[in-house]
């Protein structure tokens, strides 16, 4: 325990570690959290380009407006939503137009009511659609989902599995303000792992290679604990750092979310933000999944970075390979067949937490498995498998 | 207590770094003397069991050291030649870290660290980061870490490198006090250090021991090979090309040359008292 404490202290003493954590925190929590809610994304946008520094009050107004539709997404509620927007447009009430969730409205209309679109009118469909015709929301959603699955070739056993998942989604949907959750689950959390990968790599790449850089091998090898004990502590310390960094980002992100968005709408089904999602999850469950996905991905990635650090003697190469382990697959994935993309997605922090909104599956040993199950488990397993190899490889190098 | 090595050899490809050396060391201070590249560091690393010999074995009290593992490391203290450290640690933290690696209980380690920092004159700098230390201060931290576990076998590779004369004298006294019933091996190419504290000297050249013995014994081997010759200053350089000159001393228009030579270099040359430095030059003159 004492060695772990000292190793941990050694890690946090490094300037590169402190700067990395500070930058990560600033990017994720300050810019991606507080300033985005208050300004960059949720501030009012009278000219549709820039945003004002009034996110907090605008979010409150939007939440109140969404709550006014009764908390359940029925045909009538949706019709009222669109009608309110059209009335505000007719009266030139820009403030009202800003607080109605037109992005979500647009999503529903484009996906479920494409037949109501007037090609000769260049305005978004919610400006002119006849609200009386906005009926059969859930029947249209089901038909749309069925069409989508067929277009993806997801029929037979696979299609049945996905539809069985969808059957568990409660209808009618609970409905409150969706846009905040869209940002949290679709953008902020979905990108968290990709951003953290940079900083985890910078901090952990020198875990073992740094000992060569510091030329400490002869000292370590002549101590009682020797390399094996130290290697174990280093690995534990690296994993602890990964968890600490994650916790820092998660606590910061959740704090910003609670301050600005509150808890309203936590029990809405995720289908309110992605109509064709089949998972019977609410927003809170989705958020827990995405945080768990990132945490396990970061732990898995930490294992990979430490293995790479043990394989090379240069800090620079260790960092380079670590970054390549995440961003390399991301870069080439788009040029590969879908099945290979799926496999690459199982590498730590390469996959996407927002797969819970999709219908992707893996076909393994004759069984269809919904992709998020594997995407959350496999990366951490890869990392854990890397750890003993890192210890063994480093010890062999040290004994040269 | 006995540390012995038998026909210890290390090859790096075709290069022979250490060539079949054997010795038995009992408590005392051993000076390993030799020019750069003589094989001192390679030998020391093998004695520390951190470098695998090509052939030969090292024994501590009759037991082969690699087989002893942690039991050998427990009685070993080592200062490597290029002493590696963590620049963001303070001296006290670094020693605490090494003490933990050496398995010393925390309370005991803290007392020992304080004593050792005091001994090496760094108590006042205990809380300063190592990156702010001078070369000499770092070297003293290195010596302190080697002594942390009160080792029975202390191996110091170039311990006086980077130390100023006062620090070197302090270190010599420290080692002389420490030795007692322990085996201390120090390598250096600074002859005066060996001369001052080594009970036994092992002179290495091309991976072999070419001489061994006490300082007086070795100095005796050089006697009759050291001469002083007074020549006009203008001719001094010419003499330097012909013979091994250990020293030039200007006296007015003349220069007194200290010459190492098997034969009397000139009629006027007078024999003089040999020192370890003369012996070193006798054997390593062409490399010096």
Number of structural domains, chain A? 2
Spell out which residues of chain A touch residue B66, defining contact as CB-CB under 8 Å.
none
* Domain membership flag for residue B249: yes
Residue reference for tokens 């010890």: A395
Do A165 and A233 have their domain in common?
A: no
d(CA A18, CA A14): 7
* Domain membership flag for residue A339: yes
Do B250 and B183 have their domain in common?
A: no
Nearest CA in chain A to B95: A6
* Domain membership flag for residue A56: no
B88·A14 Cβ contact <8 A: yes
Nearest CA in chain B to A9: B89
Residue A163 sits in which domain range? 67-174
Do B140 and B204 have their domain in common?
A: yes
Between the alpha carbon of residue A397 and those of residues A56, A309, A394, the distances in Å are 56, 12, 5
Close Cβ partners of A73 (under 8 Å, ≥ 6 residues apart): A137, A172, A173, A174, A175, A272
Question: Does a cis peptide bond (omega within 30 degrees of 0) precede residue A172?
Answer: yes
Q: Which of A213, A216, A222 to mutate to test the interface with B (most CBs of B within 10 A)?
A: A222
Do B184 and B232 have their domain in common?
A: no
Residue B254 sits in which domain range? 224-272
> Which of A262, A217, A214, A200 has its CA nearest to residue A62?
A262
Query: Could you tell me what percent of chain A has a pLDDT over 90?
Result: 86
Close Cβ partners of B287 (under 8 Å, ≥ 6 residues apart): B35, B36
Spell out which residues of chain B touch residue A15, defining contact as CB-CB under 8 Å.
88
Q: Which of A141, A174, A207 is the last residue of a domain?
A: A174
Average pLDDT of chain A to the nearest whole number: 94
Do B100 and B171 have their domain in common?
A: yes
Q: pLDDT-based confidence at A213, cuts 50/70/90? A: confident
If you write DSSP's letter for every residue of B142-200 in order, what string do you get? HHHHHHTT--SEEEEESTTTT--HHHHHHHHHHHHHHHTTSEEEEEES-HHHHHHH-SE
Q: Which of A223, A225, A395 to mutate to test the interface with B (most CBs of B within 10 A)?
A: A223
Nearest CA in chain B to A229: B101
If you write DSSP's letter for every residue of A279-306 in order, what string do you get? ---BHHHHHHHHHHHHHHHHHHHHHHHH
Q: Does A119 touch chain B (CB under 8 A)?
A: no
* Domain membership flag for residue B182: yes
Do A186 and A262 have their domain in common?
A: yes
Do A102 and A240 have their domain in common?
A: no
Q: pLDDT-based confidence at A399, cuts 50/70/90? A: low
Do A156 and A205 have their domain in common?
A: no
* Domain membership flag for residue B282: no
- Please report the residues numbered 12 through 31 in chain A whose beta carbons come closer than 8 angstroms to any beta carbon of chain B: 13-15
pLDDT in tens, A378-397: 999 999 999 999 998 887 76
Highest mean pLDDT (candidates A103-107, A227-231, B192-196): A103-107
pTM score of the predicted model: 0.88
Beta bridge mates, B12: B15
Do A274 and A384 have their domain in common?
A: yes
* Domain membership flag for residue B254: yes
* Domain membership flag for residue A47: no
Q: Which of A174, A203, A221 is the last residue of a domain?
A: A174
Q: Does A230 touch chain B (CB under 8 A)?
A: yes
Do B159 and B232 have their domain in common?
A: no
Do A164 and A182 have their domain in common?
A: no
Do B169 and B126 have their domain in common?
A: yes
Do B252 and B183 have their domain in common?
A: no
Residue reference for tokens 């908390």: A71
Do A223 and A356 have their domain in common?
A: yes
Is pLDDT of B176 > 90? no
Highest mean pLDDT (candidates A187-201, B153-167, B226-240): A187-201
Do B75 and B181 have their domain in common?
A: yes
Do A18 and A144 have their domain in common?
A: no
Do A238 and A336 have their domain in common?
A: yes
Between the alpha carbon of residue A209 and those of residues A45, A224, A387, A390, B204, the distances in Å are 50, 21, 15, 11, 34
pLDDT in tens, A275-287: 999 999 999 999 9
d(CA A298, CA A349): 7
pLDDT in tens, A233-262: 999 999 999 999 999 999 999 999 999 999
- Min Cα distance B118 → chain A (Å) is 22
* Domain membership flag for residue A49: no
Number of structural domains, chain B? 2
ipTM over 0.85: no
Q: Which of A174, A191, A210 is the last residue of a domain?
A: A174
* Domain membership flag for residue A46: no
Do B23 and B81 have their domain in common?
A: yes
Spell out which residues of chain B touch residue A211, defining contact as CB-CB under 8 Å.
84
* Domain membership flag for residue A111: yes
**For range A83-111, the mean pLDDT:** 94
Query: Hey, is B236 helix, strand or coil?
Result: helix
B88·A15 Cβ contact <8 A: yes
- What is the token pair recorded at A394? 């480093």
Radius of gyration of chain B, Cα coordinates, nearest whole angstrom:
21
Burial class (CB in 10 A: 0-12, 13-18, 19+), B202: buried
d(CA A317, CA A273): 42
For residues A223 and A81, the model is more confident at: A81
Do A107 and A253 have their domain in common?
A: no
B100·A3 Cβ contact <8 A: yes
Specify whether the CB–CB gap between A112 and A141 falls below 8 A.
yes
Do B245 and B158 have their domain in common?
A: no
Please calculate the CA angle A355-A356-A358 and round it to the nearest 5 degrees: 60
> Which of A291, A352, A292, A301 has its CA nearest to residue A323?
A301
* Domain membership flag for residue A51: no
Do B57 and B115 have their domain in common?
A: yes
Do A141 and A183 have their domain in common?
A: no
* Domain membership flag for residue A344: yes
């Amino acid at each position: 325990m004492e060695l772990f404490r000292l190793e941990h202290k050694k890690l946090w003493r490094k300037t590169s570690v402190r700067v990395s954590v500070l930058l990560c925190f600033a990017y994720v929590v300050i810019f991606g959290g507080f300033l985005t809610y208050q300004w960059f994304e949720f501030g009012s946008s009278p000219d549709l380009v820039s945003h004002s520094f009034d996110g907090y009050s605008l979010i409150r107004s939007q939440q109140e407006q969404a709550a006014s539709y009764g908390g359940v997404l029925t045909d009538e509620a949706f019709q009222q939503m669109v009608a309110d927007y059209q009335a505000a447009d007719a009266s030139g009430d820009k403030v009202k137009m800003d607080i109605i969730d037109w992005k979500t409205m647009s999503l529903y209309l484009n996906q479920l009511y494409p037949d109501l679109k007037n090609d000769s009118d260049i305005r978004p469909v919610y400006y002119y659609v006849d609200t009386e015709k906005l009926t059969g929301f859930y029947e249209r959603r089901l038909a749309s989902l069925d069409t989508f699955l067929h277009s993806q070739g997801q029929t037979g056993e696979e299609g049945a599995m996905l539809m069985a998942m969808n059957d568990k989604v409660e209808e009618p949907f609970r409905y409150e303000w969706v846009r905040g959750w869209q940002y949290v689950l679709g953008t902020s959390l979905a990108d968290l792992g990709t951003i953290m990968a940079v900083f985890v790599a910078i901090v952990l790449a020198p875990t073992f290679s740094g000992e060569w850089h510091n030329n400490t091998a002869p000292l370590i090898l002549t101590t009682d604990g020797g390399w094996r004990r130290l290697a174990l502590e280093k690995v534990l310390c690296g994993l602890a750092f990964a968890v600490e960094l994650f916790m820092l980002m998660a606590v910061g992100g959740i704090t910003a979310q609670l301050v600005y968005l509150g808890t309203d709408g936590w029990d809405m089904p995720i289908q309110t933000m992605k109509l064709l999602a089949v998972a019977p999850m609410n927003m809170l469950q989705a958020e827990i999944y995405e945080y768990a996905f990132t945490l396990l991905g970061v732990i898995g990635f930490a294992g990979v970075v430490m293995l790479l650090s043990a394989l090379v003697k240069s800090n620079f190469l260790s960092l380079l390979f670590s970054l390549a382990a995440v961003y390399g697959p991301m870069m080439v994935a788009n040029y590969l067949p879908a099945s290979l993309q799926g496999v690459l997605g199982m590498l730590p922090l390469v996959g996407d937490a927002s797969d819970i909104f999709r219908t992707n599956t893996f076909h393994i040993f004759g069984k269809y498995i919904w992709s998020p199950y594997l995407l959350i488990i496999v990366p951490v397993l890869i990392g854990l498998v890397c750890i003993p190899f890192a210890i063994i490889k480093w010890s062999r190098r040290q004994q040269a | 207590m006995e540390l012995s090595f038998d026909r210890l050899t290390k090859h790096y490809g075709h290069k022979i770094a250490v060539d079949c050396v054997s010795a038995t060391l009992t408590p005392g201070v051993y000076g390993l003397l030799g020019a750069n590249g003589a094989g001192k560091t390679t030998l020391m690393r093998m004695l520390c069991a951190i470098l695998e010999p090509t052939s030969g074995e090292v024994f501590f009290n009759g037991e082969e050291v690699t087989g002893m593992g942690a039991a050998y490391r427990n009685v070993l203290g080592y200062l490597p030649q290029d002493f590696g450290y963590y620049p963001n640690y303070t001296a006290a933290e670094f020693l605490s870290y090494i003490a933990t690696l050496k398995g010393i209980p925390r309370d005991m380690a803290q007392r020992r660290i304080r004593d050792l920092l005091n001994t090496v004159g760094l108590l006042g700098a205990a809380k300063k980061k190592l990156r702010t230390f001078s070369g000499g201060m770092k070297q003293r931290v290195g010596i302190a870490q080697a002594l942390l576990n009160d080792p029975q076998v202390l191996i110091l590779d170039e311990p006086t490198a980077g130390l100023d004369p006062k620090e070197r004298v302090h270190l010599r006294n420290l080692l002389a006090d420490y030795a007692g019933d322990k085996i201390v091996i120090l390598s250096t190419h600074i002859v005066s250090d060996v001369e001052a504290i080594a009970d036994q000297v092992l002179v290495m050249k091309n991976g072999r021991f070419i001489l061994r013995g006490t300082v007086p014994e070795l100095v005796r081997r050089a006697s009759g090979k050291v001469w002083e010759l007074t020549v006009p200053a203008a001719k001094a350089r010419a003499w330097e090309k012909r013979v091994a000159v250990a020293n030039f001393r200007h006296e007015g228009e003349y220069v007194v040359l200290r010459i190492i030579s098997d034969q009397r270099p000139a009629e006027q040359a007078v024999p003089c008292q040999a020192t370890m430095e003369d012996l070193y030059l006798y054997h390593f003159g062409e490399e010096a």
